[in-house]
A and B are shown apart, each in its own frame.
Chain A
Amino acid sequence: MKKMRKLIGALLCGIVATALFTGCGSKGGENGVVYVYNWGEYIDPETIEMFEKETGIKVEYEEYETNEIMYPKVAAGTSNYDLLCPSDYMITKLMENDMLAELNYDNIPNAKANIGAQYFEQAAAFDPGNKYCVPYCWGTVGILYNKTMVDGPITSWDVLWDEKYKDNILMQDSVRDAFMVALKRNGYSMNSLNTAELEQAKNDLIAQKPLVQAYVVDQVRDKMIAGEAAIGVIYSGEAIYTQRENADLEYIVPEEGSNVWIDGWVIPKNAENKENAEKFINFMCRPDIALMNFDYITYSTPNDAARALIEDEEIRNSEIAFPDLSKYNNMEVFIYLGEDGDELYNNLWKEVKSN
């Protein structure tokens, strides 16, 4: 019994100690602090310093690798982030679970002024009335190929099943992206919940596995630049960067259609510094800042005013960075499929990976 009491005493001491330590965390700049949780390598770090200097608000910046890693951290509510930058379907999931705060556009005048109306329209597909999300980046998913390593121009997802390119194919190591490729190739919706369609997609992915060199996420970029593989599935934003580094690379959106996605700023409901977060969004929507970010991360910006400032005409009118979506068929946005849908996809993906 005595031992027990001592143990409880020790535990209490520890809890007090941790409370003390967390108590003296950073108090922020003169005008407070804003906790930002964004994708890795998704901002020009210089813009953060400029924001801090101009507003006197300290930015506590953290990064995540995928939407799926971000979600449980936010849902647990242990870390109070003020600003997130998830993708379309993840924003829906956050909305459905009542985890987002409505934006006050009076504090974000730059958003409506600079961001193209068509992008707000696109975002309305998952955020009706644009109440929660200001678009930050957008793009497509397609095939990046090395012109010196393939025969003729590529137009279809079929090339990822071509025996000729065995061990020369890089696939995305994420469930929705991988199934998007297989579903679109067969002419189905990438948000399909039809068991027969998904079963077929699964079998196709299993058949493709011996041809695949590796399943990777961010490494597609470096491997394609180095000439490690001939063909890779990649986000359009990475494509521009890879072409800068290796002129033999070409990016296309396959004719069967693909994914068009938007990542946007959202504020969680439990944010303690909502106004600072809105100031941060407003700053990011400024044309000069959006241009700096575009130059740095090369992901397409929905900021029309920033696009007009791009000096290089080739980039400004690039079909990769700013595709005219009306020219493509069957472009789709990912839709949140609910918990059951997620589980169905995850189990099928596990079968593919373990085969």
Chain B
Amino acid sequence: MNKKLLSAPFLFWSGLFIIVPLLMVFYYGLTDKTGAFTFENIAAISSPEHLKALWEAVKLSVLSTIICLILAYPLAMILCKSGSNKTSFMVLIFILPMWMNFLLRTFAWLTLLEKTGVINTLLKLVGLPTLNIINTPGAIVLGMVYNFLPFMVLPIYNVLIKIDKNVINAARDLGANPFQTFMKITLPLSVPGIISGITMVFVPALTTFIISTILGGSKILLIGNVIEQEFTQTGNWHLGSGLSIVLMMFIIFNMVISAVTDKDGEAQAL
């Protein structure tokens, strides 16, 4: 009874700021301007412009998730192996940029990558050819990887640090070489962390609109941009909500996969 009372603030919070807005999204998504029930807003995803925007978003977010994973896994292992003092310092270095506003960090990349930006000015100074990736899909992927990498490193690190060293020692005692130990012991035990990391990178990358606006010069339309424009520019909340529901289905699909593979709930530890 008491426990239930303690959870009241949480219930109130999630009711007001999660459930109610979600219901409103569904209400708008499933009605038209006159308030009549319709599936049209959801079916609108099949129009060529929307499909293309969705495909671009899936392509770029999958690519960034893979790059994040490749970068994050070795890094998490290094963090685990180094001494405790060094670890906390390195984790701090990793977390530090996240104290700054997300928008500012993305604008910083714009200043770095521009034609007359910091990187190209330096390259020109030493006589090297300039780098022209601003306003391309490459710049968007770079922005996604930079912004979301910590969300991949931390869950993997959390899982790796909890692996019992005796298990690894036992494998080595029984004659497994380092590669075999990694493939048969470390990797399988770290799957929950990997899955959690993938979710935490893939979901924000799939829905982002600000990275593609700033670093992509608004030339590449992602599904997040389409939804944003339906709300701010066009004022068609019904279509925006309908497309959001489609996007939510993608995310729920992703979550179901991680829930199935992460039965122990280890990755929730973060």
Question: Which residues does A use to contact B, with CB under 8 Å?
Answer: 6-7, 10-11, 13-14, 66, 68-69, 71-72, 167, 173-175, 209, 212-216, 223, 226-228, 342-343, 346, 350-351, 353-355
Contact = CB atoms under 8 A, between A and B. Distances in A.
Interface string B1-28: 0001000110110011000000000000
Interface in B135-157: 135
21 contacts: A10-B8, A10-B9, A10-B11, A10-B12, A11-B12, A11-B15, A68-B233, A167-B132, A174-B233, A212-B219, A214-B135, A215-B219, A216-B217, A216-B218, A228-B114, A342-B234, A346-B234, A353-B218, A354-B49, A354-B52, A354-B226
B116 interface: yes
Contacts of A212: 217, 219
Contacts of A227: 116
B219 A14 contact: no
B109 to A, nearest CB: 14
A14 B12 contact: yes
Nearest to B230: A346
Nearest to B237: A72
Given A215-B217, A228-B116, A353-B218, 6 more contacts: A10-B9, A11-B12, A14-B16, A68-B234, A228-B115, A354-B50
Given A215-B218, A351-B49, A353-B218, A7 B15 contact: yes
Nearest to A351: B49
B34 interface: no
A69 B75 CA distance: 43
B232 interface: yes
A167 B218 CA distance: 14
Interface string B210-232: 00000001110100011001001
B217 A72 contact: no
Interface in B76-132: 114-116, 132
Interface of A, secondary structure class, is helix
A71 B233 contact: no
B116 A209 contact: no
Nearest to A215: B218
Given A7-B15, A209-B219, A354 B53 contact: yes
A226 B11 contact: no
B12 A173 contact: no
Contacts of A343: 234, 236
B235 interface: yes
Contact of B16 (A11, A66, A174): A11
5 closest A-B pairs by beta carbon, nearest first, are A214-B217, A215-B218, A354-B49, A10-B12, A354-B221
A71 B235 contact: yes
Contacts of B236: 343, 346
Contacts of A10: 8-9, 11-12, 15
B217 A226 contact: no
Contact of A72 (B50, B115, B235): B235
A43 B212 CA distance: 30
A228 B134 CA distance: 11
A350 B232 contact: no
A353 B221 contact: yes
A120 to B, nearest CB: 30
Contacts of A11: 12, 15-16
Contact of B116 (A13, A174, A215, A226): A226
